[in-house]
């Protein structure tokens, strides 16, 4: 499967800073054609970044989307609007959105279906808290996030789907899941996807690992059978460090 390395810049970078980082990244990854690369800057920088990366193998993504096409929904942005500024992907259900902005599996599902209706590809984020893992409830929790988040989505639409397994205890903490812990959950997720869709579809969906991915741990993580990519937060803010991750396996 073609590896997929994605950057989530979160609430960082002005337009100028975003453009500078993307321009540096473009130079660093020149000639790297055997993997998919995605950058997800804040909404304000999307259009400018599109012009920087146009014609390269870096794709553009947003960090969230709303499910309605238009209307009185102050502050929201639709899938069509994201496509209009050059987005190919959107991240949906990131744990920070679930925690701080009341994102639920139901709203995640609405957002995914609306995105697919406009042929906007999706990275669905799932992952458990440390407490859930300690209580051995992590599998059940992730299973529910997948089942409810992917309700009423066809196998053919699932071609536009990638899943990111992001254990919440590993995000921004420097505490990475061990390659074995990650592999075990990725295999579990693929198995659940085979029930939700079918085996062939599950085998074609890329499952990314997210949670303190760095240049020095990417190789070991990417060597695991069911780890098909990485969703990178902190270490993607610097073009050199993100470039090392992209080239590091």
Q: Which residues bind ligand PEP (CB under 6 A)?
A: 8, 166, 171-172, 210-213, 231-235
Minimum CB distance to ligand PEP smaller for 211 or for 229:
211
Minimum CB distance to ligand PEP smaller for 215 or for 233:
233
CA distance 144 to 184: 17
Minimum CB distance to ligand PEP smaller for 18 or for 212:
212
Q: Known catalytic residues? A: 94, 166
Minimum CB distance to ligand PEP smaller for 89 or for 197:
89
Handedness of CA 139, 144, 145, 150 (dihedral sign): positive
As given in the structure block, the two tokens for residue 209 are 């690992």
Sequence-distant (≥ 6) Cβ neighbours of residue 239 within 8 angstroms: 21, 22, 24, 25, 28
CA distance 152 to 198: 14
CA dihedral 134, 139, 140, 142 (to 10 degrees): 110
What's the min distance (Å) between Cβ of 170 and ligand PEP? Answer: 6
Which residue is closest to ligand PEP by CB? 233
What's the min distance (Å) between Cβ of 212 and ligand PEP? Answer: 4
CA distance 190 to 224: 13
What's the min distance (Å) between Cβ of 2 and ligand PEP? Answer: 20
What's the min distance (Å) between Cβ of 55 and ligand PEP? Answer: 27
């Amino acid at each position: 499967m073609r590896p997929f390395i994605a950057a989530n810049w979160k609430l960082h970078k002005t337009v100028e800073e975003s453009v500078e980082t993307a321009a540096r990244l473009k130079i660093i990854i020149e000639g790297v054609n055997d993997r998919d690369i995605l950058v997800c800057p804040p909404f304000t920088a999307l259009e400018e970044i599109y012009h920087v990366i146009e014609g390269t193998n870096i794709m553009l993504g947003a960090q969230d989307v709303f499910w309605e096409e238009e209307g009185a929904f102050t502050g929201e942005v639709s899938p069509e609007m994201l496509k209009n500024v050059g987005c190919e992907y959107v991240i949906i259900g990131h744990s920070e959105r679930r925690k701080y902005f009341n994102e639920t599996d139901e709203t995640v599902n609405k957002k995914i279906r609306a995105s697919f209706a406009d042929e906007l590809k999706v990275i669905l984020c799932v992952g458990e808290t440390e407490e859930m893992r300690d209580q051995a409830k992590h599998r059940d929790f992730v299973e529910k996030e997948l089942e409810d988040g992917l309700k009423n989505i066809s196998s053919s639409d699932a071609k536009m789907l990638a899943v990111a397994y992001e254990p919440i205890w590993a995000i921004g903490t420097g505490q990475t899941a061990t390659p074995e812990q990650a592999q075990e959950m990725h295999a579990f997720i693929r198995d659940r996807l085979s029930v939700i869709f079918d085996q062939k579809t599950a085998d074609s969906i890329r499952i990314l690992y997210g949670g303190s991915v760095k240049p020095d741990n990417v190789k070991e993580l990417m060597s695991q059978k069911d780890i098909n990519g990485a969703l990178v937060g902190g270490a993607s803010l610097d073009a050199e460090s993100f470039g090392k991750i992209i080239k590091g396996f």
